[in-house]
Protein backbone atom coordinates (compact mmCIF):
# COMPACT_ATOMS: atom_id res chain seq x y z
CA UNK A 1 0.00 0.00 0.00
CA UNK A 2 1.51 3.30 -1.08
CA UNK A 3 1.47 6.16 1.37
CA UNK A 4 2.09 9.85 0.80
CA UNK A 5 4.87 11.00 3.12
CA UNK A 6 4.05 14.69 2.78
CA UNK A 7 2.00 16.23 5.53
CA UNK A 8 -1.27 17.04 3.82
CA UNK A 9 -4.44 18.34 5.37
CA UNK A 10 -7.08 15.64 5.60
CA UNK A 11 -10.32 16.67 3.94
CA UNK A 12 -13.00 17.08 6.60
CA UNK A 13 -16.19 15.06 6.39
CA UNK A 14 -18.87 16.90 8.32
CA UNK A 15 -21.96 15.59 10.07
CA UNK A 16 -24.09 17.47 7.53
CA UNK A 17 -22.38 15.64 4.68
CA UNK A 18 -22.95 12.34 6.45
CA UNK A 19 -26.70 12.93 6.84
CA UNK A 20 -26.98 14.09 3.22
CA UNK A 21 -25.20 10.99 1.90
CA UNK A 22 -26.82 8.44 4.22
CA UNK A 23 -30.31 9.70 5.14
CA UNK A 24 -31.84 6.20 5.44
CA UNK A 25 -31.13 2.48 5.27
CA UNK A 26 -31.79 2.39 1.53
CA UNK A 27 -28.98 4.86 0.86
CA UNK A 28 -26.62 2.85 3.07
CA UNK A 29 -27.51 -0.39 1.28
CA UNK A 30 -27.08 1.23 -2.13
CA UNK A 31 -23.63 2.49 -1.13
CA UNK A 32 -22.73 -1.02 0.05
CA UNK A 33 -23.94 -2.52 -3.22
CA UNK A 34 -21.90 -0.07 -5.30
CA UNK A 35 -18.83 -0.72 -3.15
CA UNK A 36 -19.03 -4.51 -3.28
CA UNK A 37 -20.28 -4.84 -6.86
CA UNK A 38 -18.71 -1.95 -8.84
CA UNK A 39 -19.09 -3.85 -12.14
CA UNK A 40 -22.61 -5.10 -11.47
CA UNK A 41 -23.97 -8.08 -9.53
CA UNK A 42 -23.02 -11.52 -10.80
CA UNK A 43 -25.99 -13.88 -10.63
CA UNK A 44 -24.86 -17.38 -9.72
CA UNK A 45 -27.95 -18.95 -11.29
CA UNK A 46 -27.78 -17.04 -14.57
CA UNK A 47 -23.96 -17.30 -14.48
CA UNK A 48 -23.67 -13.74 -15.75
CA UNK A 49 -23.76 -10.12 -14.59
CA UNK A 50 -27.42 -9.20 -14.76
CA UNK A 51 -29.69 -6.34 -13.80
CA UNK A 52 -30.97 -6.44 -10.24
CA UNK A 53 -33.70 -4.47 -8.48
CA UNK A 54 -34.06 -3.63 -4.82
CA UNK A 55 -36.40 -5.86 -2.79
CA UNK A 56 -38.51 -3.56 -0.66
CA UNK A 57 -39.29 -6.05 2.11
CA UNK A 58 -35.68 -7.01 2.88
CA UNK A 59 -32.13 -5.64 2.45
CA UNK A 60 -31.43 -7.52 -0.76
CA UNK A 61 -31.45 -7.25 -4.55
CA UNK A 62 -33.24 -9.63 -6.88
CA UNK A 63 -32.15 -10.69 -10.35
CA UNK A 64 -34.53 -9.34 -13.01
CA UNK A 65 -34.36 -12.63 -14.94
CA UNK A 66 -34.41 -15.50 -12.42
CA UNK A 67 -35.36 -13.76 -9.16
CA UNK A 68 -32.29 -14.95 -7.26
CA UNK A 69 -31.60 -12.78 -4.21
CA UNK A 70 -28.26 -11.21 -3.33
CA UNK A 71 -27.61 -9.73 0.12
CA UNK A 72 -24.85 -7.05 0.09
CA UNK A 73 -24.54 -7.28 3.87
CA UNK A 74 -23.40 -10.92 3.67
CA UNK A 75 -19.72 -11.27 4.48
CA UNK A 76 -19.56 -7.88 6.21
CA UNK A 77 -19.87 -6.73 9.82
CA UNK A 78 -23.57 -6.05 9.11
CA UNK A 79 -24.33 -9.71 8.36
CA UNK A 80 -27.64 -10.80 9.94
CA UNK A 81 -27.65 -7.81 12.26
CA UNK A 82 -31.10 -6.49 13.25
CA UNK A 83 -29.58 -3.06 13.92
CA UNK A 84 -30.47 -0.54 11.15
CA UNK A 85 -27.71 0.25 8.67
CA UNK A 86 -28.02 3.95 9.44
CA UNK A 87 -27.11 3.19 13.06
CA UNK A 88 -24.13 1.11 11.94
CA UNK A 89 -22.90 3.82 9.58
CA UNK A 90 -23.33 6.50 12.23
CA UNK A 91 -21.36 4.42 14.73
CA UNK A 92 -18.57 4.09 12.13
CA UNK A 93 -18.71 7.85 11.59
CA UNK A 94 -18.38 8.51 15.34
CA UNK A 95 -15.41 6.16 15.68
CA UNK A 96 -13.67 7.63 12.64
CA UNK A 97 -14.13 11.28 13.60
CA UNK A 98 -12.16 11.04 16.85
CA UNK A 99 -8.37 10.98 16.86
CA UNK A 100 -8.01 8.69 19.87
CA UNK A 101 -11.15 6.58 19.57
CA UNK A 102 -14.55 6.58 21.23
CA UNK A 103 -15.98 4.32 23.91
CA UNK A 104 -18.87 1.91 23.45
CA UNK A 105 -20.71 3.83 26.16
CA UNK A 106 -20.53 6.99 24.09
CA UNK A 107 -21.84 5.11 21.04
CA UNK A 108 -24.75 3.98 23.19
CA UNK A 109 -25.50 7.59 24.17
CA UNK A 110 -25.26 8.86 20.58
CA UNK A 111 -27.24 6.09 18.84
CA UNK A 112 -29.78 5.10 21.49
CA UNK A 113 -29.04 1.36 21.30
CA UNK A 114 -28.40 -0.81 24.36
CA UNK A 115 -24.89 -1.01 25.74
CA UNK A 116 -24.61 -4.67 24.69
CA UNK A 117 -25.46 -3.71 21.10
CA UNK A 118 -23.10 -0.72 21.19
CA UNK A 119 -20.26 -2.91 22.45
CA UNK A 120 -20.88 -5.53 19.74
CA UNK A 121 -20.91 -2.84 17.03
CA UNK A 122 -17.81 -1.26 18.54
CA UNK A 123 -15.99 -4.63 18.52
CA UNK A 124 -17.06 -5.53 14.99
CA UNK A 125 -16.01 -2.18 13.55
CA UNK A 126 -12.58 -2.50 15.14
CA UNK A 127 -12.28 -6.00 13.68
CA UNK A 128 -12.11 -4.43 10.19
CA UNK A 129 -9.13 -2.23 10.97
CA UNK A 130 -6.26 -4.60 10.25
CA UNK A 131 -3.43 -3.51 7.96
CA UNK A 132 -1.36 -6.66 8.40
CA UNK A 133 -1.90 -7.75 4.78
CA UNK A 134 -0.73 -4.45 3.27
CA UNK A 135 2.79 -5.73 2.55
CA UNK A 136 6.12 -5.82 4.40
CA UNK A 137 7.67 -2.74 6.00
CA UNK A 138 11.08 -1.16 5.51
CA UNK A 139 11.33 -0.80 1.75
CA UNK A 140 14.48 -2.92 1.39
CA UNK A 141 17.98 -1.57 0.87
CA UNK A 142 16.78 1.82 -0.42
CA UNK A 143 13.87 2.18 1.95
CA UNK A 144 13.55 4.48 4.97
CA UNK A 145 14.24 1.68 7.41
CA UNK A 146 12.23 0.52 10.39
CA UNK A 147 12.43 1.01 14.14
CA UNK A 148 11.58 -1.71 16.63
CA UNK A 149 10.79 -1.58 20.30
CA UNK A 150 8.84 -3.42 22.95
CA UNK A 151 6.61 -2.11 25.69
CA UNK A 152 4.15 -3.42 28.24
CA UNK A 153 0.52 -2.66 28.96
CA UNK A 154 -1.77 -3.25 31.92
CA UNK A 155 -0.99 -5.50 34.82
CA UNK A 156 -1.95 -5.30 38.49
CA UNK A 157 0.68 -5.34 41.23
CA UNK A 158 -1.12 -7.85 43.41
CA UNK A 159 0.70 -10.92 44.67
CA UNK A 160 -0.78 -14.22 45.79
CA UNK A 161 2.02 -15.00 48.20
CA UNK A 162 4.43 -15.99 45.46
CA UNK A 163 6.94 -13.95 43.51
CA UNK A 164 4.81 -13.32 40.40
CA UNK A 165 1.93 -10.80 40.09
CA UNK A 166 -1.51 -12.36 39.68
CA UNK A 167 -2.21 -10.21 36.60
CA UNK A 168 1.10 -9.51 34.80
CA UNK A 169 1.57 -6.87 32.15
CA UNK A 170 0.99 -7.76 28.47
CA UNK A 171 4.12 -7.56 26.28
CA UNK A 172 3.71 -5.57 23.03
CA UNK A 173 6.14 -5.51 20.12
CA UNK A 174 6.11 -2.70 17.55
CA UNK A 175 7.66 -2.13 14.13
CA UNK A 176 7.51 1.43 12.77
CA UNK A 177 8.54 2.45 9.29
CA UNK A 178 10.06 5.93 9.30
CA UNK A 179 7.53 8.39 7.84
CA UNK A 180 5.38 5.38 6.98
CA UNK A 181 3.37 2.58 8.49
CA UNK A 182 3.42 0.88 11.86
CA UNK A 183 2.39 -2.52 13.18
CA UNK A 184 2.01 -3.62 16.78
CA UNK A 185 1.53 -7.10 18.19
CA UNK A 186 0.69 -8.55 21.57
CA UNK A 187 3.14 -11.35 22.36
CA UNK A 188 3.64 -13.98 25.02
CA UNK A 189 7.09 -12.58 25.79
CA UNK A 190 9.82 -10.37 24.31
CA UNK A 191 12.45 -13.05 23.84
CA UNK A 192 14.42 -13.39 20.62
CA UNK A 193 12.73 -16.69 19.73
CA UNK A 194 9.38 -14.86 19.73
CA UNK A 195 10.34 -11.56 18.10
CA UNK A 196 12.69 -12.71 15.31
CA UNK A 197 9.99 -14.66 13.39
CA UNK A 198 7.75 -11.57 13.53
CA UNK A 199 10.58 -9.44 12.15
CA UNK A 200 11.25 -11.94 9.38
CA UNK A 201 7.59 -11.95 8.35
CA UNK A 202 6.88 -8.21 8.44
CA UNK A 203 10.16 -6.51 7.45
CA UNK A 204 11.42 -6.53 3.87
CA UNK A 205 14.85 -8.16 3.34
CA UNK A 206 17.91 -5.89 3.30
CA UNK A 207 16.08 -3.14 5.19
CA UNK A 208 17.85 -1.00 7.76
CA UNK A 209 16.66 -1.90 11.26
CA UNK A 210 17.02 0.42 14.26
CA UNK A 211 16.73 -0.96 17.78
CA UNK A 212 18.05 -0.33 21.26
CA UNK A 213 20.82 -2.42 22.83
CA UNK A 214 18.63 -5.16 24.35
CA UNK A 215 20.07 -8.61 23.76
CA UNK A 216 16.80 -9.90 22.28
CA UNK A 217 17.84 -8.11 19.05
CA UNK A 218 21.28 -9.72 18.88
CA UNK A 219 20.17 -12.09 16.14
CA UNK A 220 18.71 -9.43 13.81
CA UNK A 221 21.99 -8.68 12.03
CA UNK A 222 22.68 -12.39 11.48
CA UNK A 223 19.34 -13.29 9.88
CA UNK A 224 19.33 -14.55 6.29
CA UNK A 225 17.19 -11.56 5.28
CA UNK A 226 20.33 -9.41 5.25
CA UNK A 227 19.17 -6.65 7.57
CA UNK A 228 21.46 -3.68 8.27
CA UNK A 229 21.16 -3.55 12.05
CA UNK A 230 21.87 -0.23 13.82
CA UNK A 231 21.59 0.16 17.61
CA UNK A 232 21.21 3.05 20.03
CA UNK A 233 22.48 2.65 23.61
CA UNK A 234 19.70 3.84 25.89
CA UNK A 235 21.45 2.45 28.96
CA UNK A 236 24.19 5.01 28.42
CA UNK A 237 21.57 7.78 28.15
CA UNK A 238 22.14 8.12 24.42
CA UNK A 239 18.83 8.56 22.58
CA UNK A 240 19.83 10.02 19.20
CA UNK A 241 23.07 9.54 17.30
CA UNK A 242 22.78 10.91 13.77
CA UNK A 243 19.92 8.99 12.19
CA UNK A 244 20.12 6.17 14.74
CA UNK A 245 17.17 6.34 17.16
CA UNK A 246 13.86 4.69 17.98
CA UNK A 247 11.85 7.88 18.51
CA UNK A 248 9.25 7.01 15.86
CA UNK A 249 8.05 3.79 17.44
CA UNK A 250 8.31 5.28 20.95
CA UNK A 251 6.11 8.17 19.80
CA UNK A 252 3.54 5.63 18.63
CA UNK A 253 3.60 3.97 22.06
CA UNK A 254 2.80 7.35 23.60
CA UNK A 255 -0.22 7.77 21.31
CA UNK A 256 -1.52 4.30 22.15
CA UNK A 257 -1.11 4.60 25.92
CA UNK A 258 -2.54 8.11 26.12
CA UNK A 259 -5.46 7.11 23.91
CA UNK A 260 -6.35 3.94 25.78
CA UNK A 261 -5.86 5.58 29.16
CA UNK A 262 -7.89 8.66 28.27
CA UNK A 263 -10.77 7.04 26.34
CA UNK A 264 -11.07 3.40 27.39
CA UNK A 265 -9.29 3.60 30.77
CA UNK A 266 -8.54 -0.12 30.72
CA UNK A 267 -8.41 -2.87 28.09
CA UNK A 268 -8.23 -6.60 28.81
CA UNK A 269 -5.47 -8.74 27.35
CA UNK A 270 -7.99 -10.64 25.19
CA UNK A 271 -9.07 -7.47 23.35
CA UNK A 272 -5.80 -5.53 23.32
CA UNK A 273 -4.71 -6.63 19.83
CA UNK A 274 -7.85 -5.21 18.22
CA UNK A 275 -7.20 -1.86 19.93
CA UNK A 276 -3.62 -1.88 18.67
CA UNK A 277 -4.98 -2.53 15.16
CA UNK A 278 -7.29 0.47 15.47
CA UNK A 279 -4.52 2.83 16.56
CA UNK A 280 -2.19 1.45 13.87
CA UNK A 281 -4.90 1.96 11.23
CA UNK A 282 -5.33 5.61 12.21
CA UNK A 283 -1.58 6.21 12.40
CA UNK A 284 -0.97 4.67 8.98
CA UNK A 285 -3.41 7.14 7.40
CA UNK A 286 -2.25 10.27 9.18
CA UNK A 287 -1.03 11.78 5.88
CA UNK A 288 -4.03 10.72 3.74
CA UNK A 289 -6.31 13.32 2.19
CA UNK A 290 -9.16 10.80 2.24
CA UNK A 291 -11.47 11.38 5.23
CA UNK A 292 -10.96 8.78 7.95
CA UNK A 293 -14.68 7.91 7.80
CA UNK A 294 -14.30 6.90 4.15
CA UNK A 295 -11.20 4.85 4.99
CA UNK A 296 -13.18 3.06 7.69
CA UNK A 297 -16.09 2.34 5.33
CA UNK A 298 -13.81 0.92 2.67
CA UNK A 299 -12.85 -1.91 5.04
CA UNK A 300 -16.33 -3.42 5.26
CA UNK A 301 -15.82 -6.08 2.59
CA UNK A 302 -12.64 -7.32 4.29
CA UNK A 303 -14.52 -8.73 7.27
CA UNK A 304 -15.44 -12.41 7.45
CA UNK A 305 -19.03 -13.41 8.01
CA UNK A 306 -20.07 -12.62 11.58
CA UNK A 307 -21.93 -15.27 13.58
CA UNK A 308 -24.43 -13.25 15.59
CA UNK A 309 -25.24 -16.00 18.06
CA UNK A 310 -21.58 -16.61 18.99
CA UNK A 311 -21.00 -15.85 22.67
CA UNK A 312 -19.64 -12.37 23.30
CA UNK A 313 -17.95 -11.18 26.47
CA UNK A 314 -19.15 -7.70 27.40
CA UNK A 315 -16.64 -5.75 29.54
CA UNK A 316 -17.49 -3.44 32.37
CA UNK A 317 -18.76 0.04 31.57
CA UNK A 318 -16.28 2.84 32.26
pLDDT for 229-253, tens place per residue? 999 999 889 999 999 999 999 999 9
Section 118-136 average pLDDT? 89
pTM of the model: 0.83
At residue 305, does pLDDT exceed 80? no
Which residue would you say has higher pLDDT here, 5 or 210? Answer: 210
Identify the weakest region by mean pLDDT among 69-73, 135-139, 302-306.
Answer: 302-306
Numbered ranges of CATH 3.30.420.10 in the chain: 140-289
Position 2 scores a pLDDT of 47
Instruction: Name the residue with higher pLDDT: 294 or 154.
Output: 294
pLDDT at 24: 96
Of 48-62, 184-198, 289-303, the poorest mean pLDDT is in: 289-303
State percent of the chain over pLDDT 90.
67
Domain 140-289 in CATH 3.30.420.10? The answer is yes
Interval 49-86: pLDDT, tens: 999 999 988 999 999 999 999 999 998 999 989 999 99
The secondary structure of 60-125, three-state, reads EEEECCCCCEECCCCCCCCCCCCCCHHHHHHHHHHHHHCCCCCCHHHHHHHHCCCHHHHHHHHHHH
Higher pLDDT, 100 or 59: 59
**Interacting residues of 102 by C-beta distance below 8 A, sequence separation 6+:** 94, 95, 263
Amino acid sequence: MAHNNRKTKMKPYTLKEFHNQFPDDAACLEWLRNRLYPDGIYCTKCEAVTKHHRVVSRPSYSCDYCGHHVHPTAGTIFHKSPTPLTTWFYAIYLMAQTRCGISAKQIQRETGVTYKTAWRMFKQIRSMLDDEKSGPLGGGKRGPGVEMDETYYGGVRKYDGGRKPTNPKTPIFGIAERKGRVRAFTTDNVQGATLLPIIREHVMPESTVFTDERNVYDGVGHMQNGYNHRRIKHNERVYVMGNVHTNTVEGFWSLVKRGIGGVYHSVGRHYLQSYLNEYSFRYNRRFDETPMFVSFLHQVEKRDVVVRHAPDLVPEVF
